[in-house]
Amino acid sequence: MAIPANDNPQKTMFNYIIFVAVAIIVITQFLFTVDQTQQAIVLQFGKPVRVIQEPGLKVKVPFIQNVRFFDKRILNVDLPPARVNLSSGQRLSSGNEEAEILDTGGEPVIIDTFARVRITDPLLFYKRLDTVRNAEARIQSLMNSALRDVLGQASLQDILSPVRTQITETIRTRLNNEMEARGVEVVDVRIVRADLTDRMQSSTINRMISGRREQATDIRAKGEEKAAQIKADADRQRTVILANANKQSQIFRGEGDRIAIKTYAEAFNKDPSFYSFLRSMEAYKNVFSKGGTQFVLSPDQQFLRHMDR
């Protein structure tokens, strides 16, 4: 007896598709893939039985076991801005004018921070926190507490100086001490911004203006004092220079008179009559060169003795 041939190809194709689909479903229940950026926990009836941190194709028992995946990368946890009261009495150094201007006077400061964390132990993370959202909420709560404790002993000047690195490291250490038992490592903590309240901004600006005015007045007074000293020193030097110059001119004039007298004496001794004639000519020149001058002299006057020749 011959077996009749299957003359319905559509039915055959349908059966084949159903078989492939069932096979894929069964295979997916046996196999799963762990990505390089992930780590996983295999759960059996809700209880963890295996931790997988290496990437690749893995096997599980179908319908009995399921897999929870956790990110292996560094995660950012942004905290909402917090109002923190800083220390109003501490300074980086006494007499620091900038620190005095930046004193908050007990007013709160708005601190904006964020943290970078990483899941290092997925089993502890699953048992203590379960989800990333729960972890973020826990970190935010711990970080707010750490911020208030640590920044309560610091000034605004500390936050705006290299001391901030030490502050953030202290906060990170405190967070790690709390989160290590929950399978989370706090990689970094940063203070993004520290803003003053509106009232504190106005007060700080007014104090800065007042401080700069006092500084300008002090600089101006010192400048005027220095200018007066320079002017007084210049006047003193001028007086000394003029006195020395007058003294030197008197010395030169006396020396010139001495030489002239000596020269005249030598000339007079050589030819007294000629010397007398030259002196008379000089006297005539000085007297008669001025126009409009009239002299009434007798003819035998010695002054005109050379005029009758």
pLDDT at 306: 60
The tens digit of pLDDT for each residue in 189-233 reads 998 887 776 666 667 677 788 888 889 999 999 999 999 999 999
pLDDT at 100: 45
pLDDT at 139: 92
Upper half-sphere CA count for residue 218 (Cβ side, 13 Å): 6
Grouping H, G, I as helix, E, B as strand and the rest as coil, residue 153 is coil
pLDDT at 300: 62
pLDDT at 174: 92
Sorted by sequence, the CB contacts under 8 Å of residue 80 that are 6+ apart come out as: 140
Confidence of residue 184 (pLDDT cuts 50, 70, 90): very high
The tens digit of pLDDT for each residue in 10-24 reads 767 777 788 777 767
For residue 20, CA distances in Å to 14, 17, 103, 109 come to: 10, 5, 74, 65
Q: What is the DSSP annotation of 21-40?
A: HHHHHHHHHHEEEE-TTEEE
**97 has a pLDDT exceeding 60:** no
Confidence of residue 292 (pLDDT cuts 50, 70, 90): low
Confidence of residue 89 (pLDDT cuts 50, 70, 90): very low
Confidence of residue 87 (pLDDT cuts 50, 70, 90): confident
The tens digit of pLDDT for each residue in 98-130 reads 444 455 555 678 888 899 999 999 999 999 999
pLDDT at 301: 61
Higher pLDDT, residue 231 or 63: 231
**66 has a pLDDT exceeding 90:** no
pLDDT at 94: 36
pLDDT at 30: 78
pLDDT at 151: 84
For residue 305, CA distances in Å to 86, 268, 294, 309 come to: 112, 18, 18, 8
Sorted by sequence, the CB contacts under 8 Å of residue 40 that are 6+ apart come out as: 32, 34, 51, 52, 58, 67, 68, 69, 70, 122
pTM of the model: 0.55
Q: What's the whole-number average pLDDT of the chain?
A: 80
Report the range of poorest mean pLDDT among 114-128, 136-150, 200-214, 277-291: 277-291
Confidence of residue 173 (pLDDT cuts 50, 70, 90): very high
Confidence of residue 303 (pLDDT cuts 50, 70, 90): low
pLDDT at 120: 93
